[in-house]
Amino acid sequence: MILNDLQILALILFAAMYAVMIIKPDYKIYSIWVVAIVYIIAGVLKERSPIYILTSINWNVIMMIGGTMVIVYFFIESKMPNRLAELILNRCKNVAWVIIFMSVFAGIISAFIDNVATVLMIVPVALAICKKLKISPVSMILSIAVSSNLQGAATLVGDTTSIMLGGYANMNFMDFLWMNGKPGIFWSVELGALATIPIMMVMFRKFNQPVSSDSHTKVVTYFPTISLIGIVVSLIIASFIPNTPDYINGLICCIIALITIIEDFIKNKKIEKIKNSILSVDFETLLILCGLFIVIQGITDAGLIDLAADSIVKIGGNSIFLLYTIIVWGSVALSAFIDNIPYVATMLPIIQQICLLLNIEPYLLYFGLLTGATLGGNITPIGASANITATGILKKNGHSISFKDFTKIGIPFTLTAVTVGYLLIWFIWK
């Protein structure tokens, strides 16, 4: 495989960007945007027009994060997280089980709404719990992030990659649960999630401090809670409506955020709360995501993702098991460092063509791709938008997360869940 000069430049810059993010995470935003700008100037992106650059950014994700962050501000101000924290503490015997409970709860929610939105909803509750217990929130919040990524592949609406597969393979919501007389990917993801519970019990065994809560926080207003529930319901409903625009999820979050702002202003007549809600948005995280979208568009345009995906398929040859294994674990490796959306978009037509040549149904490889690409993002702090969001929130709260800190939690989660899903999918769909 011979790379041209432009591909070599793109690859070197991409590798340098990740090296900086691993070695100096505080310079992450600078490394991303320097590479993004060089990609534009050097012509790595196939077009330099402002319209092309802007459209390379996934504004649906950006709007969804921004809108949800605004609602989360009012959610925190309502004291609801504190009340939920008290209810959870009263049902768990120690800190380890609090972490496990919160992770499982986040996973269940993320099976039905976007992983980033899940993190933004659950993390305020986790922060409130950790504040009450006077412990570091790092382990709990990172566990919430990886758990939300884990179950994103369970349903049609759980993750962008799931939506992409559903559209490409003409699969509906129920096909993820039961398809062609066989259990769908939902069950392999859920079994993988259950398998992570013993792993968490071992990982957090030292967090044996007893927990309890004698206080009873009074919730100021229930409207922000209703807004968050409204987001969940609206996103599920939107998934069943055909021909909706690509940015529908982000639009839903922004509209409900605006309604929440208006309701609060009508009730309290405080312009200061509106300003604070906007300032609560983590603009650094949004800028990191915008820069990453441009960089990923660049390596996509340069053909690097095509080359990587094509290499995985070629190595598999005519062995279905070997091909399946390479797709699953190759996807895990690649999606740990690159955005899984362009990768999945590239791999879907390749898998379809391979299955036509081998005269087999594509669902084994489709589900293997989704398992590896979605769960593989859990290995690194920059492998998934939810991870970036979680580490951004931690940094905003005074906890800087290193690459090593994240992988201590991300790798055991990923290897356990992927292995279980990998085996179950093969057993059912081989």
Residue with the two structure tokens 């699953």: 328
DSSP states of 251-265: HHHHHHHHHHHHHHH
Quote the CA–CA distance of 64 and 286 in Å, as a whole number. 11
3-class secondary structure, 79: coil
Q: Is the pLDDT of residue 214 over 70?
A: no
Token digits of residue 238: 């939107």
Residue type (1 letter), 331: S
Residue whose C-alpha is closest to residue 414's, from 366, 385, 368, 373: 373
| Helices assigned H by DSSP within 24-49 | 28-42
Q: What is the CA radius of gyration of the chain?
A: 21
**243 close to 58: Cβ distance less than 8 angstroms:** no
Task: Report the chain's terminal Cα–Cα distance, integer Å.
Answer: 31
Token digits of residue 240: 């069943």
Name the pLDDT band for 30 (thresholds 50, 70, 90).
Answer: very high
The pLDDT of residue 41 is 94
Name the pLDDT band for 42 (thresholds 50, 70, 90).
Answer: very high
> Contacts from 366-369 at CB under 8 Å and sequence distance 24+?
366/165, 366/169, 367/184, 367/185, 367/188, 367/425, 367/429, 368/324, 368/327, 368/328, 368/331, 368/422, 368/425, 368/426, 369/165, 369/327, 369/328, 369/331, 369/344
Given CA atoms 398, 401, 405, 407 in this order, what sign does their dihedral have?
A: positive
Give the distance from CA 33 to its chain's centroid: 21
3-class secondary structure, 94: strand
CB-based contacts of 276, cutoff 8 Å, min separation 6: 73
pLDDT tens, position by position, 361-398: 899 999 999 999 888 888 888 788 788 888 888 888 88
Token digits of residue 179: 């398809």
3-class secondary structure, 90: coil
For residues 136-168, one letter each, b for 16 or more C-beta atoms within 10 angstroms of the residue's C-beta and e for the rest, the string is ebbbbbbbbbbbbbbbbbbbbbbbbbbbbbbeb
pLDDT tens, position by position, 216-265: 778 899 999 899 888 878 877 887 787 778 788 889 989 999 999 999 99
Quote the CA–CA distance of 15 and 155 in Å, as a whole number. 33
Quote the CA–CA distance of 187 and 239 in Å, as a whole number. 20
Bigger pLDDT: 312 vs 94 = 94
Q: Is the pLDDT of residue 19 over 70?
A: yes
Domain enclosing residue 146, as ranges: 5-429
pLDDT tens, position by position, 333-357: 888 877 677 678 778 888 887 888 7
Name the pLDDT band for 95 (thresholds 50, 70, 90).
Answer: confident
Query: In angstroms, what CA-CA distances link 76 with 73, 83, 228, 257?
Result: 5, 10, 12, 14
**Residue 218 DSSP label:** P
Rounded mean pLDDT, 36-58: 92
Q: Is the pLDDT of residue 213 over 70?
A: no
**347 close to 331: Cβ distance less than 8 angstroms:** yes
The pLDDT of residue 215 is 67
Residue type (1 letter), 66: G
Residues in the chain: 430
Residue with the two structure tokens 């939300």: 148
Query: For the chain, how many structural domains are there in total?
Result: 1
For residues 316-333, one letter each, b for 16 or more C-beta atoms within 10 angstroms of the residue's C-beta and e for the rest, the string is beeebeebbbbbbbbbbe
3-class secondary structure, 323: helix
Token digits of residue 369: 């791709």
